A and B are shown apart, each in its own frame.
Chain A
């Protein structure tokens, strides 16, 4: 890819793209070498034994990723219910994860809108009650 670098913000994006593509090339060489090696040697007992040990470690790494992600979330009733609903949908309904992502974000916005609306109604009601008492 050829980029013409300009000044300012575009310059940053341009150099970022250069860097990204050069790194991707190195990565491509490394990862393409692995499957070609594995296809030739996948039945070798040493490779199989290594993967028997590696598989549970990878599951633990993914779980650790979930723990780290959970730490960055503010856990409230709304977020907990979004988490549980998305997890149950993914586990028991064969649904594209992208739909879960989209519906979750949209559902969160709708939830917040109705919550704000009910809070606004309650405050209006309280103000009118005060006026009547006065």
Chain B
């Protein structure tokens, strides 16, 4: 039963994978938290690990959630489920609707999706920051965390550094400050 629910949830997530990567976090969060597979803290761990490893962040999240829910079989089911929709959509586009690529309605729909994807990513960032008390909640704000977030963002915008180095540095900083 859990395997079937895992399959259905990640299949749904895969169908809304417009924008990929971080734009999928709100959809993953919605499904995972609603099913109670992970709590917000564990989800942050999952996203952190998924971001650090090679491969798409959404697939890595799927593997993580699948594994913590139902072991290796769960990881396999979640991976297949999240990959299937893109395979189906891509094959359909290649074989059936290639002639409609430049249709005004399709172009308008794609143009309208861009700001929504930006909105989804901003929402993902806000929720992650709220869940980890990096921005304002009634429980108080982690000022150090806020400072790390702002400085990391500035470094990313100004230097275009590889995110893996940023994550390694942030992990090291955490060890230095809190261990």
Do A and B pair up? The answer is yes
The residues of B that contact A82 with a CB separation of less than 8 Å are 112, 115-116, 119
The residues of B that contact A45 with a CB separation of less than 8 Å are 178-179
The chain A residue sitting closest to B68, CB to CB, is A35
The residues of B that contact A96 with a CB separation of less than 8 Å are 27, 30
Chain B residues touching A, majority SS = helix
A44, B24: Cα distance in complex, Å: 30
Please count how many residues in chain B sit with their CB below 8 Å of the partner chain's CB atoms. 85
Q: Does A24 contact B (CB under 8 A)?
A: yes
Binding site for B on A (CB under 8 A): 9, 13, 17, 20, 23-24, 26-28, 30-32, 34-36, 38-39, 45-46, 48-67, 69-70, 72-75, 78-80, 82-84, 86-87, 90-91, 96-98, 100-101, 104-109, 111-112
Given A72-B114, A112-B108, A59 and B50 contact (CB-CB distance below 8 Å): no
Pairwise interchain contact A38-B45, C-beta atoms closer than 8 A: yes
The residues of B that contact A27 with a CB separation of less than 8 Å are 53-55, 59-60, 63
0/1 string, B156-179, CB within 8 A of A gives 1? 110000010011011111110111
